[in-house]
Structure 1
Amino acid sequence: MALYVQKFGGTSVGSVERIKAVAEKVKGFRDQGHEIVVVVSAMSGETNRLIGLANEVSDEPHPREVDMLVSTGEQVTISLLAMALHAIGVPATSYTGAQVGIRTDSAHTRARIQQIDTDELHQDLGAGRVVVVAGFQGVDADGNITTLGRGGSDTTAVALAAALKADECQIYTDVDGVYTTDPRVCSRARRLETITVEEMLELASLGSKVLQIRSVEFAGKYNVPLRVLSSFEDGPGTLIVAEEEPLSSHMEEPLISGIAFNVNEAKLTVLNTPDIPGVASKILGPIADANIEVDMIIQNVAPVGDRTDFTFTVAKSDYKQTYRLLEQKVIPELGGEIKGDDQIAKVSLVGVGMRSHAGVANRMFQVLGNEGINIRMVSTSEIKISVVIDEKFMELAVRALHTAFGLDREDVNQEG
C-alpha cells in the first residue's frame, strides 16, 4: 500500500463528465489499497473568467479581494469531485486550503507556503477516506485567504506530498508527460521518459507550462518523487529524477533535453542612468519591495562619460506596475528615461549535456541568424542558454532550434 498525492489540472476537471472520470481513476487506485490525497485546480477557464470580472469592476483590483474571488474556483471543483466519489461508493472529504491548514505568507496573488498541518489529513486517510484539497490557495497568519500564483495547484500537491512523506506525487494534466518542447508549437516534439530535477527546474522557470517552478523546487528540496501523467490516457508519463541519476541507458545523453519559451515577458530599460556603484540596487529595490520578480538583467558599459543603460525583464502582467514604479521612485532620483517593450519572447535551450560541450551558444546564434531573427538579450548558465527575441518570431525560433539540436521525432513528417 502506498500514499499518493494526485493533482488534476483545470482541463482534467473541465466538465462534470471529466470530474466523474477523475473520480473513477481515483477509485481505481483506492481499490488497490492505496491512500489517496487529491489536489484539484479550478475548472478550465474559470480562473480567467473570475479575473475578467475583477478587471471589469476595477482597473486595479485590490490583491486581497482578488484572492478572495479567484479562490472560489477551486472550492467548486473540490465539492463536485467529493460528490462524484461519494456517488461511486468512495468516502471522501473536501477541504479548502485554509481548512486543511496550508499556511502562507501575506503576499496576495503570489503567496508562498510556510507550513502545512497534517494531523487531520492523517486522520481522514486512516479512516479510509479520500482527501480532496483545493489547490492554489492557503491562509495567512491573519486568516486572509491567499493564492499561490498561476500554476499554484502543482505547488500545493508537491508541498502536501512532502509534508505527508508520500510515496509519489502524480501530476495529471492534458499532456502525457514532459516534452522536448510544446507539441502545439512543434509537432515533432518528443515525450521524455525521464528528466532531471535540475533540467525540469530550468524548463519550468523558463516558461514550460507543464509544471510550476515552485513545485519543482519543493520536489528537489524535499526529495519528492514526481511524475507527470495524462488524465485522458494510460501511460508511464515522465519521471522527474534526482540529478545524479542517469537519464537513460544510452552511452551518451543528448546535448539538449528541451526547449522552453515564454511570451509572458516584458523588457524595460532605464536609459542614461548614472554609471555608479549601487545603481542596480536603486533601480531594482522598489521593484523587489513590490514583490515583482526580475528575470534577465543587462547593464551596458557606459560608452561616454558616466552614464549607462540598465535593462531587465519582468512578467508581462507586472509590466505596467513596474513601469509606474520606475517613473515614481527611480527616475526622480537617478534621472534618465524609461523605454519599454511588452512584445517580446524568451526562448531557451536546456540540457545537462551542455556542461561537457562547447559551442552551444554559437550554434544557437547561427541558427537564429539564418532565420533572420535578431537577438535582443542573452543569458546563460551551466545548463541553459536563453535569448530574448521579438514575440512574432517565437514559433519559428523554437522549430528551427528543435531541428538543429536533434530533438525531432523521427516518425513525424518533416512538414508536420
Structure 2
Amino acid sequence: MALIVQKYGGTSVGTVDRIREVAKKVIQYRNDGHDVVVVVSAMSGETNRLLGLANELHDHPRGREVDVLLSTGEQVTIALLSLALEQMGMPATSYTGPQVRILTDNAHNKARIMQIDDEKIRADLSAAKVVVVAGFQGCDELGNITTLGRGGSDTTAVALAAALKADECQIYTDVDGVYTTDPRVVPEARRLDRITFEEMLEMASLGAKVLQIRSVEFASKYNVPLRVLSSFTEGGGTLITSEEASMEQALISGIAFNRDEAKLTIEGVPDQPGVAAKILGPIAAQNIEVDMIIQNIGHDSTTDFTFTVHRNDFQTAMNILQKICQELSARQVTGDEKIAKISVVGVGMRSHAGIASTMFSALAAENINISMISTSEIKISVVVDEKYLELGVRALHKAFNLEQA
C-alpha cells in the first residue's frame, strides 16, 4: 500500500461529468489498496470569472479581500468531488486550506506555505476515507485566508506530499507530460519521459506553464517523486526526479519562453557604490520580483540600469522608478512591455561547449535581435521583441534537434 497525493487542475474538474471521471480514477487507486489525498483547483474559468467581478468593482483589486473571493472557487470543487465519491460508495472528507491548517505568511495573493498540520488528514486516512483538499489557499497566523498565486494548487499538492511523506505526488492536468517546448508553438515538440528537478525548476521559472515553480522547489527540497500526467489519456507521463549518475543527459532538454515580461531602464544613474540597492530596494519593498538585470557603464561617470519584471508589475515599477530618477538626478526612465524571454535549458550544458554560439547563430539567421542575455550553469536566456517569440522558439528547437529522442 502506498500513500499517493493527486492534484487535478481546473480543466480536469471543469464540469460535473469530469468530476465524476476524477472520482472514478481516485476510487481505482483506492481499490488497488492505496491511500489517496486529492488536491483540486477551481473549475476551469472560475478564477477568471471571480476576478472579472472584482475588476468591475475596483480598479486594481488586490490584497485580503481578493483572497477571500478567489478561495471560494476551490471550495466549490472539493464539495462536489466529495459528493461524487460518496455517491459512488467511497467515504470522503473535504477541507479548505484553513480547515486543514495550511499555514502561510501574510503576503496576500502570493503567499508562501510555512507549515502544514497533517493530523486531520492522517486520522481520515486511518478511517479509510479519501481526503479532498482545496488547493491554492491557506491562512496566516491571524486566520486570514491567503492564496498562493496562479498555479498554487501544484504547490499545495507537493507540500502535502512532503508533509505526509507520500510515496508519489501525481499532477493531473490537460497535457500528458513535460514537453521539449509548447506543442502549440512547435508541433514537433516531444514529450520527455523524465527530467531532473533542476531542469524543471529552470523551465518553470522561465515560463513553462506545466508546473508552478514553488511546487518544483518543494519537490526538490524534500525529494518528493513528482509525476505529470493527463486526466484524459492514459500513459506514464513525465517523471521529475533527482539527477542520477546513470541518467544519460541530453545536451538540451527543452526551450522555455515567457510572454509576460516587461523591461525598464533608468538612464544616467551616478556610477557609485550603493546605486543598485537604491534602485532595487524600493522595487523589492513592493513585493515585485526582478528577473534579468543589466548595468552598462558609460564614459561620463554614469550608468544605465536595466531590469525586467512581470508585465503585471510594469506600471507600479515604472512609478517607483520615476521617483528614484528624480532622487538620483538621473536622465530618464524608459520602459517596454512588448518583450519576451526565450531560454534553452539542459544539465548537459555542464559538459558541452558551444551552446551559446549555436543559440545566437540560430536567432541571427532569423534576423532576431537580442536585447538582454542571462546565463546560469544549465540555461541561457535572451530577451527579444515579443513579435519574434514563436519564430525564435521554432528556430532554437530545430537548431538543437529536440524533435529527436
TM-score range, shorter chain: over 0.9
Q: 1:212-247 deviations in whole A, cap 9, x for unaligned?
A: 100000001011010010100110001011123543
Give the aligned residue type for 2:99.
Q
1:334 aligns with 2:300: no
On the 8 A contact 2:227/2:238 being kept in 1, the answer is yes
Map Cα deviations across residues 72-118 of structure 1 (whole Å, 9 max, x no partner).
Answer: 11111111111111111111111110001100000001100000000
* Residues in 2 aligned to 1:138 and 1:110: alpha-carbon distance in whole angstroms: 11
Give the drift of 1:61. Answer: 1.6
Instruction: Provide, for residues 269-316 of structure 1, a one-character-per-residue CA deviation record: whole Å limited to 9, x for no partner.
Output: 1111111111111000011111111100001122x2111110001111
In structure 2, what is the Cα distance between the partners aligned to 1:261 and 1:348? 6
The amino acid of 1:95's aligned partner reads Y
Q: Give 1:5-24 correspondences, 5 Å limit.
A: 5-24=5-24
SS in 2 for 1:227: strand
Aligned twin of 1:224: 224
Asked if 1:319 is matched to 2:337, the reply is no
- Equivalent position to 2:273, from 254, 273, 277: 277
**Which residue is equivalent to 1:287?**
283
Secondary structure at 2:77 match in 1: helix
Amino acid across the alignment from 2:269:
T
Would you identify which runs of 4 or more consecutive aligned residues in structure 1 move more than 2 Å?
A: 244-248
Unaligned stretches of 5+ residues in structure 1: 411-416
Question: Among 257, 263, 275, which residue is 1:261 paired with?
Answer: 257
Three-state SS of the structure 1 residue aligned to 2:99 is helix
Q: Find the partner of 1:388 among 358, 383, 389.
A: 383
Equivalence for 1:357: 352
SS at match of 2:210: coil
Alignment of 1:140-159 (within 5 A): 140-159=140-159
The aligned residue for residue 182 of structure 1 is: 182
Shift of 1:331: 2.0
Code of the aligned partner of 1:299:
Q
Give CA deviations for 1:147-179 in whole Å, capped at 9, x if unaligned: 111111000000000000000000001111110
Q: CA deviation at 1:409?
A: 4.8
DSSP 3-state at the match of 1:100: coil
Distance 1:373 1:297 in 2: 20
Counterpart of 1:28 in structure 2 is 28
- TM-score when scaled to structure 2? 0.98
- Work out the CA distance in 2 between the residues paired with 1:396 and 1:215: 30
> Separation in 2 of the partners of 1:340 and 1:247?
44
Tell me the equivalent position of 1:67.
Answer: 67
Number of matched pairs? 404
- Sequence identity of aligned pairs in percent? 69
What are the superposed Cα offsets for residues 331-362 of structure 1, whole Å, 9 maximum, x if unpaired? 23212221111111100000011111111111
CA distance in 2, matches of 1:5, 1:305: 59
TM-score, length basis structure 1: 0.95
CA contact (8 A) 1:194 1:247 kept: no
- The separation in 2 between residues aligned to 1:308 and 1:363, in whole angstroms, is 31
- In the alignment, is residue 298 of structure 1 matched against residue 294 of structure 2? yes
Give the gaps of 5 or more residues in structure 2: none
Structure 2 CA distance for partners of 1:12 and 1:264, relative to 1, 3 Å: same
SS at 1:395's partner residue? helix
Change beyond 3 A, Cα 1:144–1:399 = same
Say what the alpha-carbon RMSD is for the aligned residues. 1.1
2:62 touches 2:109 (CA, 8 Å); kept in 1?
Answer: no
Q: Distance in 1 between matches of 2:139 and 2:245?
A: 37
